[in-house]
Structure 1
Amino acid sequence: MSKKVQYELEYPVRCSPGILYEFLSTPAGLQEWFADKVDFRDNVFSFSWSGNVEEAEVLDQVAAEYIRLRWVTAPKEEFFEFRIRVSDVTTETILIVKDFAEKKEIADQSQLWDYQVKDLFHRIGN
């Protein structure tokens, strides 16, 4: 089995960090763009897609800055993260997605994130 590597994607967003964070860290916000149904209990999100359920535990978070999650079936060192940065130069809000994939799958996984984030932008009116 190939070892997964971390990769990072950046998306400029026309939205305040506080509003964006709500879409990244709450069941209602995540259900708008990330999964068909989202529940949260005991620091674990349950994401449902077409009846399939995957769980991710919250590893760390700072309001309006980032949330880091790990699929409960993933190795301890792997996670996915939504980070919000505001450019010092342009004051533009930037969403940074960090995830892990095998090298040969990074392009496909990036495309999947592009699709998901496009849906997020549609929901926030971007």
Structure 2
Amino acid sequence: MPKEKFIGEYPINASKKMLYPYFSTASGLAQWFADDVNINEDKVFTFLWDGDENKAKMVSSRTNSHVRFEFLDEEGQSEDDDPTYLEFKLDMNELTQEVFIRVTDYSDMDREEQQELYDSLIHDLKEIVGG
């Protein structure tokens, strides 16, 4: 199945500084994004969804700005030629001072499924942070 890139933007009433740990730490991600998230000594994140494990490495991060995870294959290797990835970016509209979460998900999920999934997940996150 070919991979599709989903990009969603969600306004949120919270500061970038407050939101960043929800995207960059195992405990923050476990609160809203997955059933559970663990990180090992090699900095590999293990995401648990409905009993399924998915491993990812944080390949890029900038404090209070963005995080990017590349998912690993069964052997724990990155898919070099066309990696599945997930990026959370925190943007601010300079004019209105409104903060936006930009989600980029490049995976083999159907775009409609991705839209529904992130609408629901970001809704959960907004309830947690009061945004």
TM-score where L is the length of structure 1? 0.89
TM superposition shift of 1:75:
3.4
- Name the counterpart of 1:8: 7
Select the residue among 107, 111, 115 that pairs with 2:116: 111
Question: 1:79 is aligned with what amino acid?
Answer: Y
- Name the counterpart of 1:44: 44
State how 1:35-114 maps to structure 2 within 5 Å: 35-41=34-40, 42-73=42-73, 75-76=79-80, 77=82, 78-101=84-107, 105-114=110-119
| 1:72-99 Cα deviation digits (max 9, x unpaired) | 1273333110000011111111000001
| 1:10-65 Cα deviation digits (max 9, x unpaired) | 00010010111111111111111011211112121111223322111111100100
Contact 2:38/2:47 (CA < 8 Å) preserved in 1? yes
Is the deviation greater in 17-26 or in 36-45?
A: 36-45
Is the deviation greater in 49-58 or in 116-125?
A: 49-58
- Name the counterpart of 1:29: 28
- Name the counterpart of 2:127: 122
Q: Which runs of 5+ in 2 are unaligned?
A: none
| Equivalenced residues, count | 124
- The DSSP-based 3-state class of the residue aligned with 2:110 is helix
Q: Structure 1 residues 4 and 51 mapped into 2: Cα distance closer, same or farther (>3 Å)?
A: closer
Contact 1:44/1:57 (CA < 8 Å) preserved in 2? yes
TM superposition shift of 1:101:
4.1
Question: 1:16 is aligned with what amino acid?
Answer: S
TM-score where L is the length of structure 2? 0.86
Contact 1:101/1:109 (CA < 8 Å) preserved in 2? no
